[in-house]
Amino acid sequence: MSDVGGAGWRRPSAVAKFHTPEIVLGRGAFVEAAVAVAGLGVRRPLIVSDRTIERTRWYGDLVADLRRQGLTPGAHLDVSPNPRAQEIADGFAAYQAHGADGLVALGGGSVIDAAKGVAVLASNGGLILEYEGIDKARRPLPPVVVVPTTAGSGADVSQFCIVNDPERRTKITIIGRSLVPNVTVIDPTMLTTAPPEVTAQAGMDTLTHCIEAYVSLARGRLTDSLAVEALTGVWTNIERLVDDPSDPDAGEEMSLASLRAGMAFTNAILGAAHAMSHPVGGHCDAPHGTINAVLLPHVIRYNAVVCADDFVRLADAVGLSTGGDARTVADRLADAVARLRTRVGLPDGLAGLGVAEGDLDLLTANALADSCMITNPRRPDGHDVADMYRQAL
């Protein structure tokens, strides 16, 4: 194991790019989605969604709105949580069969990732698993408009695409500037149809984005400010929205927190919690936000060895006492995250998600190979990762 920096370490200021799509945000923004698709010159969009969303009013309204714009929509609706490589291949086949020239993603992070994967294949060909890593998709993607139905994944503004590889029993990470959607349309009223457990999972994903972006090796002043604002927003509103999905103010604040966290992490990248979460999601097919919520307290304690002062700033942002030494405050933050996870109804350990002691070697190897591990502030070895997994069981 080799640590990076020491307690209170901060990355020096550096020149950095900041990627973001065009953003349409606010109650009632949904009607702008079809306008955005038409404005990009798309005439035969493929809607990527899932069967649950198909049963809501949003899917029918989107189809009608697109037709009112004079467009001819097709659809690929067979997307599951933790989208499989085959589902993306099937989506590409639907794209070709429809003669599509652009995509609209209507759904949560899994749907958005699937749409991005289809877009990669539409312009670059091949198999989606061949694009694992950074900047492997060289050709420009067709236009992509995203309409998120949850507040949490950040996929609507990110340069990430996460795909489940069933053969390797892990999830791969595809990263590239071209994966940032052209337009994201964020309407908080859409959160009213999300089940409470989905709201909780998405919200804890947002919280993980905030904390990992703030301590990332690729952080900057702009991502720092977004991460802190987002953390305050999700901390004070997630329980409100889980308890009452119709609360318009909680929905708006959670949407804004998700957006800010997404802009922070797509530019600062993430860390060990996500690197360790992806293999668990591929292995057990468990919800991504739930896995993050279980792992995050353990990763906070691990990283506090080199950046405890940063966790003091985050603890202050959520109203925790910052008395005592920095490591103590970091432990206090980790404990508070665990208590919040319990209050919103998520499980406390990986064993309840299907992880066993015998799985740890495979999970550890896949976590160490994940691109998100590169920007974790403390460089772990296999023993460190396995130990964190074991603590999280």
Residue 92 has φ and ψ, to the nearest 5°, of -65, -40
Arithmetic mean of pLDDT over the chain: 94
**CA neighbor of 33 nearest in space, from 107, 99, 91, 100:** 107
**CA neighbor of 299 nearest in space, from 220, 233, 227, 367:** 367
Residue 366 has pLDDT above 70, yes or no: yes
Instruction: Return the higher-pLDDT residue of 276 and 170.
Output: 276
Contacts of 290 (CB under 8 A, 6+ apart): 201, 204, 346, 347, 353
- Ordered by where they begin, the domains of the chain are 29-186 (3.40.50.1970), 194-392 (1.20.1090.10)
Contacts of 281 (CB under 8 A, 6+ apart): 82, 164, 171, 287, 288, 291
Query: What pLDDT is stored for residue 12 in this prediction?
Result: 46
Question: What is the strand order of the sheet 22-25 is part of?
Answer: 22-25, 183-186, 144-148, 102-107, 45-48, 74-76
Q: Do 364 and 386 touch, CB atoms closer than 8 A? A: yes
Task: Categorize the per-residue pLDDT at 16 as very low, low, confident or very high, splitting at 50, 70 and 90.
Answer: low
Query: What pLDDT is stored for residue 280 in this prediction?
Result: 96
Instruction: Report the share of the chain in percent with pLDDT over 70.
Output: 96
Query: What pLDDT is stored for residue 13 in this prediction?
Result: 53
- pLDDT tens for 87-100 read 999 999 999 999 99
Mean pLDDT within 211-236: 96
Cα–Cα dist 327/325, whole Å: 6
Mean pLDDT within 71-97: 96
The two tokens of residue 55 are 């049963």
Query: What pLDDT is stored for residue 14 in this prediction?
Result: 64
- pLDDT tens for 101-130 read 999 999 999 999 999 999 999 999 999 999
CA distance readout (Å), 307 to 128, 275, 314, 317 = 36, 19, 11, 16
Residue 379 bridge partners (DSSP): 2
Residue 145 bridge partners (DSSP): 104, 183
**CA neighbor of 30 nearest in space, from 53, 4, 1, 7:** 53
- pLDDT tens for 279-323 read 999 999 899 999 999 999 999 999 999 999 999 999 999 999 999
Residue 7 has pLDDT above 60, yes or no: no
